[in-house]
């Protein structure tokens, strides 16, 4: 199996992003928002993070916004390499994504798919012809959009999606150094993603990235990709 790409969310400073990229991470995720999302930063900070990792890793900026014009505004200010669409499923449909591709020709597009049942396969297929990547994630009623739930979903459904589409698929949702190897074996994704289980929780609230856990996640992923 070829090398598995590694995506880590979410950076809150340029220094943190550069340190995480130095652990061997391929995609560096940032959350430009003012909606109270975990680890969110303002647009200026997000832009600085994307600039800081240029040449070291691929920058990815997520959006849960339902209005394409607002998404376009964020991308133009932050200038990530990849736009990660993870709003509520259906809020930005395949036709909207196709229009965003036309307006943002220099940015890759990654669509989040909420893996909630077997109908998720059909949803993934419906987006697969208009995006560059799919990311398969879990959902939480306490967090807006798709992702940041910190729990695994049904990997059998994720494996079915990998088989059904031709675009690269990143597996997310509760992945940690302890389970990422098992997840790779079960799903055979192009890449894997971690947010919650590579964090160090701050006593005063919020979190920072735990470089030890990031390094462990990278090592476990490399072992899983070689298996």
Tell me the per-residue pLDDT of 182-201, one tens digit each, with 9 for 90 and over.
Answer: 999 999 999 999 999 999 99
pLDDT digits (tens, 9 = 90+) for 103-114: 999 999 999 999
pLDDT of amino acid 146: 67
pLDDT of amino acid 76: 97
**pLDDT above 90 coverage of the chain, percent:** 78
Taking every pair of C-alpha atoms in the chain, what is the biggest distance, in angstroms? 44
Domain ranges for the chain: 5-226
pLDDT of amino acid 138: 79
pLDDT of amino acid 205: 81
pLDDT of amino acid 206: 85
pLDDT of amino acid 204: 83
Low-confidence ranges of the chain (pLDDT < 50): 1
CB atoms within 10 A of CB 200: 11
pLDDT of amino acid 90: 78
pLDDT of amino acid 159: 97
Q: CA-to-CA distance for 225 and 227, rounded, in angstroms?
A: 6
CATH class of 5-226: alpha beta
Q: CA-to-CA distance for 166 and 163, rounded, in angstroms?
A: 8
Residue 180 contacts residue 194 (beta carbons within 8 Å): yes
φ, ψ (nearest 5 deg) of residue 186: -80, -35
pLDDT of amino acid 209: 96
pLDDT of amino acid 149: 64
CB atoms within 10 A of CB 148: 25
């Amino acid at each position: 199996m070829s090398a598995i790409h590694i995506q880590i969310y979410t950076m809150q400073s340029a220094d943190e992003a550069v340190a995480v990229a130095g652990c061997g991470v391929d995609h560096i995720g940032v959350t430009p928002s003012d909606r109270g999302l975990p680890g969110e930063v303002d647009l200026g900070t997000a832009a600085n993070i994307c600039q800081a990792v240029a040449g070291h890793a691929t920058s990815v900026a997520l959006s849960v916004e339902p209005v394409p014009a607002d998404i376009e505004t964020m991308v133009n200010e932050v200038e990530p390499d990849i736009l990660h669409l993870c709003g509520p499923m259906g809020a930005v449909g395949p036709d909207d994504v196709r229009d965003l591709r036309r307006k943002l020709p220099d940015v890759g597009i990654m669509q989040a798919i909420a893996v909630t049942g077997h109908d998720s396969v059909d949803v993934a297929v419906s987006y697969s012809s208009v995006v560059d990547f799919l990311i398969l994630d879990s959902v939480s009623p306490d967090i807006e959009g798709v992702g940041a739930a910190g729990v695994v979903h049904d990997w059998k459904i994720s494996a079915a999606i990998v088989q059904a589409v031709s675009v690269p698929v990143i597996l997310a949702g509760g992945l940690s150094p302890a389970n990422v190897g098992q997840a790779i074996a079960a799903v055979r994704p192009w890449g894997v993603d971690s947010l919650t289980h590579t964090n160090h929780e701050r006593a005063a609230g919020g979190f920072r990235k735990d470089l030890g856990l990031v390094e462990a996640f990278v090592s476990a992923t490399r072992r899983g990709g070689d298996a």
